[in-house]
Chains A and B, each alone.
Chain A
């Protein structure tokens, strides 16, 4: 399963990873080898087998809808790279 360079660039874009040309070439090779290895799963008959997303029997675990204190603003902002007016400073999201 050999990935093309275009596919590698597409994946990098989905994952928002900036890669150098050298990295793209290296990952193209390495990812292809790993995916090639993963092809062996196609030999397994899973037609009647349900997927396992979690091994636990728990589903829809919720807590009571009771209001309570949230984390303090100071704590929330303490690790932020850019803060302004007690908010996270970001670049424009919409054009």
Chain B
């Protein structure tokens, strides 16, 4: 097996036994990137020399007898999360030349755990989108079918992990942006509960919804990554002072899923969803029943209101968070005759159309005369959506449902109608509105060989139960062992490979 196809746990095992070095592992991943990323385009920024330096340092640290939870493991970071000294564009022209002077807490924790940061992955601009087509730079292609989207907004991270271009990655999820691309790319992606992972160093989109989370090729890997990045951070006032359990240690159980109550929400099997998706998810739920779970139907009656609620609250918060891009302290500046005109020109030129659309939607929803009817109303219905989950979790331990109504759609298929694109997230949005946790993991393929994701939702700070349910299901099936049919694009780029070898 090529090193880049290893899971994080497999690679750590080999490195701990002296059978693999971080430099060899990282070289394998870099060669993979050079071979396939011309076709997939998952990465916005790579820094091959710095990457190999980190790998060498990891090997030296290990040689001195100092182990660490992620020592020597190559990971990718979504380009809305700050890594000190490395470009952070947020997929936007307005931050094309921005280099953060500090790293996000989540990144600092990964680095303290010894990982190797490979680079920054592509994203819909400011994390606004469901396909990565809103990136101002280029679209990322789904490794399972290059004519299709990887999902979004963490499409770059999901595609990188699926294609062996990273052993794991960080993404962000505001309305489904980790879970939906994980589902479309056949990998595991987790959005932890709001407040579980620090948002310090995450470029803000919607402050009451955003969460950083891990993507990887196994639930165990995702549990490991979560354990490293989770926990209170005094630099984030929305970070919960709650203890971080041993997520990896709590995964297995000799009793399978015995005693776990699984709720199946009838509102999540929507008319018009791809039949194969519904079938695969129902089959997965039957597997869970076979493993001992008590399965019953539940109702989340306000599910239908999730989309309009989200598309008022998220844009409203975004309109406030994106007001800072005015060409004064950082970013693009287009000079006008006077201050206000400079702001108008800078923002008009620097932001893409989806971002402008959402800023305007949010501005309207918050404006005088409309605040009560739109923003306040949405926040009230949000209370009802959260109450639905609270009630359901008194009856069941986890909720199982699809992550996306369809498998990966064609590039360009939904870009003509914003509402059509928004509908991709109907099954993931409510989780963000309620602040609860959710994971997506592979549960099958459609007739075109495209991945289908099973979504498991849990109550706030119930990641332990969600991970255990997901891991038990995963280990009872083979879906997670499938890999996209690559190599694609033929030979690695010879010149870049030679450069890499010289610096090794």
Closest CB-CB distance, A78 to chain B, in whole Å? 6
A13 to B, closest residue via Cβ: B344
The reply to whether B383 and A50 contact each other, CB–CB distance below 8 Å, is yes
Q: Which residues of A contact B433 (CB under 8 A)?
A: 52
Q: Which one of B97, B311, B348, B418 contacts A38 once the chains associate, using CB atoms below 8 Å?
A: B311
**Max count, chain B CB within 10 A of own CB: residue among A16, A31, A58, A81:** A16
The reply to whether A34 and B381 contact each other, CB–CB distance below 8 Å, is no
A75 to B, closest residue via Cβ: B101
The docked-state distance in angstroms from the alpha carbon of A94 to that of B308 is 40
The docked-state distance in angstroms from the alpha carbon of A57 to that of B349 is 40
Q: Given A18-B348, A40-B305, A93-B339, A81–B333 Cβ distance below 8 Å?
A: yes
Closest CB-CB distance, A34 to chain B, in whole Å? 6
A50 to B, closest residue via Cβ: B383
Q: Which residues of A does B touch, CB under 8 Å?
A: 3, 7-8, 11-12, 14-19, 23, 26-27, 30-31, 33-35, 37-38, 40-42, 44, 46, 49-56, 58, 61, 63, 71, 75-76, 78-82, 88, 90-93
Q: Which one of B102, B356, B378, B434 contacts A17 once the chains associate, using CB atoms below 8 Å?
A: B356
Q: Which one of B98, B195, B308, B418 contacts A56 once the chains associate, using CB atoms below 8 Å?
A: B195
Closest CB-CB distance, B367 to chain A, in whole Å? 6
Q: Which one of A14, A17, A46 contacts B367 once the chains associate, using CB atoms below 8 Å?
A: A14
B177, CB-defined interface residue at 8 Å: no
Q: Given A61-B237, A91-B339, A31–B360 Cβ distance below 8 Å?
A: yes
The docked-state distance in angstroms from the alpha carbon of A19 to that of B304 is 33
**Max count, chain B CB within 10 A of own CB: residue among A3, A18, A55, A88:** A55
The A-contacting residues of B in range 340-382, CB under 8 angstroms, are 340-345, 347-349, 351, 353, 356-357, 359-361, 363-364, 367, 373-374, 376-382
B332, CB-defined interface residue at 8 Å: yes
Which secondary structure dominates where chain B touches chain A?
helix
Q: Which one of A50, A79, A92 contacts B380 once the chains associate, using CB atoms below 8 Å?
A: A50
Closest CB-CB distance, A31 to chain B, in whole Å? 6
**Max count, chain A CB within 10 A of own CB: residue among B98, B338, B356:** B356
Q: Which one of A19, A58, A61 contacts B356 once the chains associate, using CB atoms below 8 Å?
A: A19
B261-303 vs A, CB cutoff 8 Å, 1 = contact: the mask equals 0000000000000000000000000000000000000000010
Q: Which one of B98, B380, B419 contacts A51 once the chains associate, using CB atoms below 8 Å?
A: B380
The reply to whether A71 and B238 contact each other, CB–CB distance below 8 Å, is no
Closest CB-CB distance, A36 to chain B, in whole Å? 9
Q: Which one of A31, A46, A76 contacts B361 once the chains associate, using CB atoms below 8 Å?
A: A31
The docked-state distance in angstroms from the alpha carbon of A37 to that of B434 is 21
Closest CB-CB distance, B104 to chain A, in whole Å? 15
B208, CB-defined interface residue at 8 Å: yes
The docked-state distance in angstroms from the alpha carbon of A79 to that of B327 is 10
B309, CB-defined interface residue at 8 Å: yes
B460, CB-defined interface residue at 8 Å: yes
The reply to whether B347 and A34 contact each other, CB–CB distance below 8 Å, is no
5 smallest beta-carbon distances between A and B, as pairs: A55-B435, A18-B348, A51-B379, A81-B333, A46-B380
The reply to whether A49 and B360 contact each other, CB–CB distance below 8 Å, is no
Closest CB-CB distance, B69 to chain A, in whole Å? 27
B359 to A, closest residue via Cβ: A15
B20, CB-defined interface residue at 8 Å: no
Q: Which one of B240, B305, B374 contacts A58 once the chains associate, using CB atoms below 8 Å?
A: B240
The docked-state distance in angstroms from the alpha carbon of A50 to that of B387 is 12
**Max count, chain A CB within 10 A of own CB: residue among B195, B319, B380, B435:** B380
